[in-house]
Amino acid sequence: MEAKEGIGVVLMNLGSPDSTSVPDVKKYLNEFLMDGRVIDYPYLFRKVLVEWMIVPKRAPNSAEAYKSIWWPEGSPLMVLTEQLQRAVQDKINIPVEIAMRYGSPSPEMAFDNLLEKVPNLKEVILLPLYPHYAMSSYETAVEYAKYWHKKKKYDFKLNIIQPYYRDPAYIKALAASMRPYLESDYDYLLFSYHGVPVRHIKKGDVTHHHCMEVSDCCHVESVAHTQCYKHQVTVTSELVAKELGIPTGKWGMSFQSRLGKDEWVKPYTAEQFERLPQQGVKKLLVACPAFVSDCLETLEEIAVEGKHTFMENGGESFTMIPCMNVQEDWVNTAAQYCRERM
């Protein structure tokens, strides 16, 4: 295919610490948790909470967790995002860079790299590697990219891809990545999404009276859904279950990675791993579609810790379905999202 003139792509993900050392993990956690879209408390309160209470306690444990999943080439999230970058670039034949919300490479570095490769850069297509809108994921990543775009007064236009949680090509790619695992004998499929505080859902509700107020809010039509993570992950799960022909009752949803004492969206994944065996679910499949690339939250929290909890509570088999990573249908879909904007 002919390379298009003046266009570049940036794939944007969350980021990982530079290494598994406690100081590097501390630096990463500080940057992450001082983000006002992640911990949305007033600045001074957040600073005290994060720098004096959460990070000193959490960093050594997180560093151990990272050590247990780290690959020789680096953090799985980084390595898999780089693999996706190369795969998409090969398909569309224009330069693709990666940027991270926390740590390195920043959007500034990604934009500067693109400018070196495409001196007449007119447009950058930004593909956030988050299928769903959340203040603490998609929104903060996009706003950070926009911040650098404005601060550096770049000449090129930023063309941002919207959340694709219900896009048929995304649903098909996600279903295709899961299908081989459904051939095994299983009792139940759990979609475990990264959790968010209930307060974040309510904050994002543009109507101020829909999300988690109206009964069965996620299934009642509302403009609030454009920014509602709970609605969007519900839609993804329902569409994928339909695409895969999984009957109602054989699948469910839960939310993982809760931090702190606030109420987060329920049910909590860790509690489901304790409960499901008692409800007769002995053979469990777990998929984590909030993440495009495998990361600490899938490889450690689900595949190691979660498996342990499930088996301790009477489970017989536990399989975590890997994220889409560089699976072919997803690479084609990501490439197509870029092509449509070229």
Ligand X SMILES: C=CC1=C(C)c2cc3[nH]c(cc4nc(cc5[nH]c(cc1n2)c(C)c5CCC(=O)O)C(CCC(=O)O)=C4C)c(C)c3C=C
Site membership for ligand X, residue 81 (CB under 6 A): no
Under the criterion CB under 6 A, does residue 58 sit at the interface with ligand X?
yes
Q: Check if the beta carbon of residue 136 is closer than 8 Å to that of residue 200.
A: yes
194 binding ligand X? (CB under 6 A): yes
- Between 115 and 228, name the residue whose CB sits nearer to Fe ion: 228
Give the C-alpha separation, 166 to 175, whole Å. Answer: 12
d(CA 324, CA 182): 15
User: Chain centroid to CA 258: how far?
Assistant: 15
In angstroms, the CA 186 to CA 275 distance is 17
196 binds, among Fe ion, ligand X, none (CB under 5 to 8 A by kind): ligand X
- And the tokens for 280? 């007769």
Element (H, E) at 63: helix 55-69
- Please tell me whether 263 is known to bind a ligand: no
Question: Smallest distance, Å, CB 209 to Fe ion?
Answer: 11
Q: Which of 20, 75, 177, 227 binds ligand X (CB under 6 A)?
A: 75
Q: Quick check: 54 binds Fe ion (CB under 5 A)? A: no
Phi-psi region for residue 88, left (φ > 0), alpha (ψ -120 to 50) or beta? alpha
**CB under 6 A: which stretch of 28-36, 91-99, 161-169, 178-186 binds ligand X?**
28-36
For residues 36 and 57, give the distance between their C-alpha atoms in angstroms, rounded to a whole number.
Answer: 20
The total of other beta-carbon atoms located within 10 Å of residue 160's CB is 18
Question: Please, which residues have CB within 8 angstroms of residue 216's CB and are 6 or more apart in sequence?
Answer: none
136 touches ligand X by CB under 6 A: yes
The residue count for binding Fe ion (CB under 5 A) is 4
Under rule CB under 5 A, residue 39 binds Fe ion: no
Question: Is 295 an interacting residue with respect to ligand X (CB under 6 A)?
Answer: yes
Name the amino acid, one letter, at 6. G
With CB cut-offs between 5 and 8 Å by kind, which of ligand X, Fe ion, none does residue 211 bind? Answer: Fe ion
Among 77, 98, 211, 281, binds Fe ion (CB under 5 A): 211
Asked if 300 is part of the footprint of ligand X (rule: CB under 6 A), the reply reads no
Residue 62, classified by CB atoms within 10 Å of its CB into exposed (0-12), middle (13-18) or buried (19+), is: buried
Q: Is 297 annotated as a binding residue?
A: yes
Indicate whether 101 belongs to the interface with Fe ion (CB under 5 A).
no
Binding site for Fe ion (CB under 5 A): 211, 217, 228, 231
Task: Please enumerate, by residue number, every residue annotated as part of a binding site for Fe(2+).
Answer: 194, 297
Binding site for ligand X (CB under 6 A): 14, 16, 29, 32-33, 38-39, 58, 62, 75, 77, 130, 134, 136-137, 194, 196, 229, 257, 259, 290-291, 295-297
